[in-house]
Amino acid sequence: MQPSQTKLATPPPAGPVLERERILALDLLRGFAVLGILVMNIQAFAEIFAAYENPTAYPHSLEGADYFVWLVSHLFADEKMMAIFCMLYGAGLVLLTSRIQARGQRPWPVYLRRSFWLLIFGLMHAYLLWSGDILVSYAICGVLVYPLRNLAPKRLLAIGLAVVALGSVLALAGGWSMQFWSPKQIADFMTDVWQPTAQQTAAQIAGYRGGWLAQMPFRAQESLVTQTSGLVFFTLWRAGGLMLAGMALYKLGLLTGSLSLRLYRNLAIAGALFGLPLIAYGVHRNFEERWNARYAFFAGSQFNYWGSLGVSLAWICLLMIASQTPALRGAVNLLAAAGRMAFSNYILESVLCTLLFNGTGFGLFAKVSRIEEALVVLAVWMVVLAFSHFWMRRFFFGPLEWLWRSLTYREREPFRRRLPR
């Protein structure tokens, strides 16, 4: 074989998805999810730790307009945006590894480096900025589901739903087991997770309204809970299972806008009709039980746990319809730009909100109503969309996407576009 032939036979090195290879539907979904997830994350930025799961723990009213804001966010965003992101992560795993395999190379080393750096970014985000980080969980769950990526779609979907169901079983088992807990265990659970004492609430509020060092004990403790018991009893099963489901839906074409408008419309209707009444009934039952932790944290949470899957499917299908609607092309492209730099925008939202609510900025922690939180969400959305539009016209990647890819592929990726003069 001639040297020139050897050179031609050598596959090109693995690299990030080129601009011409990007799938608009996936970017659209990412953009929608990174905006939508702030509807829930704002509660973790602005309110005490326990209030995210127990809305009655927040020292502001849950009536009138504030109740309406909470209810809408619970019906349409709570666990739905996380579900979409998890499915997209699974889809991205298949897309990445299949491209590398098509070049005749092993995807595992690249994917492991990618997951390692995501883990590092997530740990920095969680302990230095905001305890609500989800990147650590994605990095860990992504590695665990990696070996199953080549399974057929039906098998991936079945295994994924079975894994999600394990999380539900654990929650119900936890509620059942409370009858065997000691009084101290119950008291610790109540004050640490569900309904902190007035003294604990005041300490947390003072901490987050203080400087960075004053915030650190609370942020570290909350991050540790999220990455240990939260991961083992909830995130591992839900995120891992939905990543597998996302692999299946990507292979079936549902996440890429490849199916018919009629099918997307029918699935959207079916998902909404399944999910929304189930979630609404769960809200009714939790109020009937007066948000008692023995019920609401365990059995009461399962209505949204499962109903959110239907609403997530409805959101996905509506966005796929939008991606095929010419009249919505401008809005689709704007959201897709935000989705192409979803990692950077996720961190940008954290920077803006911690600046607004923590003592290192304006110190509004636990001072705002839920309707005011909604106004903050709208303002941050406008910043994110404007920034994404500005940035993606000038650069190939978001700033953190570029850094992540350069570290993953161990070479400096192209960054700045050449704009016409």
The dihedrals phi and psi of 148, each to the nearest 5 degrees, come to -95, 5
The per-residue pLDDT for 118 is 98
**For the packed helices 135-145 and 236-251, what is the interaxial angle rounded to 10 degrees?**
60
DSSP 3-state of 63: coil
Count of helices and strands (H, E) across the chain: 19, 0
Residue 333 has pLDDT above 90, yes or no: yes
Residue 68 confidence (pLDDT) above 70: yes
pLDDT reported for residue 417: 87
* b (16+ CB within 10 A) / e for 128-163: ebbbbbbbbbbbbbbbebbebbebebeebbebbeeb
What confidence category does residue 7 fall into, taking pLDDT thresholds of 50, 70 and 90? very low
Query: In terms of Cα–Cα distance, which of 78, 115, 83, 88 is closest to 30?
Result: 88
In a domain, 22, yes or no: no
User: Would the pLDDT of 9 be above 60?
Assistant: no
Distance in angstroms (rounded) separating the CA atoms of residues 11 and 24: 27
More confident site: 21 or 223 = 223
- Encode pLDDT of 266-285 as tens digits: 999 999 999 999 999 999 99
Task: Please say whether the beta carbons of 168 and 305 come within 8 A.
Answer: yes
Quick check: is 16 in a domain? no
DSSP state of 17: P
Task: Output the DSSP codes for 274-331.
Answer: HHHHHHHHHHHHHHHTTT-HHHHTTGGGHHHHHHHHHHHHHHHHHHHHHHT-GGGHHH
Given a cut of 70, whether residue 213 has pLDDT beyond it is yes
Residue 123 lies in a domain: yes
Residue 79 phi/psi, 5-degree rounding, is: 70, -10
Do 251 and 148 form a contact (C-beta atoms < 8 A)? no
pLDDT, greater one: 270 or 9: 270
- Which residues on adjacent β-strands are paired with residue 416? 395
Is the confidence at residue 10, as pLDDT, over 70? no
Q: Is residue 6 part of a domain?
A: no
- Is residue 20 in a domain? no
Alpha carbon 217 to its chain centroid, in Å, reads: 24
Q: Is 168 exposed, middle or buried (0-12, 13-18, 19+ CB in 10 A)?
A: middle
Q: Answer yes or no: is 241 within a domain.
A: yes
> What pLDDT, on the 0 to 100 scale, is given for residue 123?
98
Residue 13 backbone dihedrals phi, psi, to 5 degrees: -65, 150
pTM passes above 0.85: yes
Establish if 415 belongs to a structural domain. no
The pLDDT value given to residue 13: 53
Q: What is the pLDDT of residues 360-386, one digit of tens each?
A: 999 999 999 999 999 999 999 999 999
Of 327, 386, 324, nearest to 352 by C-alpha is: 386
- Each residue of 278-330: pLDDT tens digit? 999 999 999 999 999 999 999 999 999 999 999 999 999 999 999 999 999 99
Number of domains the chain contains: 1
Mean pLDDT value across the chain: 93
Does some domain include residue 385?
Answer: yes
Question: Residue 92 sits in which domain range?
Answer: 27-409
Q: Which tens digit of pLDDT belongs to each residue from 112-153?
A: 999 999 999 999 999 999 999 999 999 999 999 999 999 999
CA 369 → CA 42, 47, 55, 59, distances in Å? 11, 10, 12, 9
Find, among 306, 312, 207, the residue nearest to 267 by Cα.
312
pLDDT at 400 over 80: yes
Burial 81-105 (b: 16+ CB within 10 A, else e): bbbbbbbbbbbbbbbbbebbeeeee
CB 67 within 8 A of CB 56: no
**C-alpha distance from residue 47 to each of 59, 206, 298, 363, 388 (Å):** 9, 12, 22, 12, 28
Query: What is the H or E stretch that residue 374 is in?
Result: helix 370-392
Is 248's pLDDT higher than 80? yes
Residue in 121, 138, 137, 135 with CA at minimum distance from that of residue 227: 137
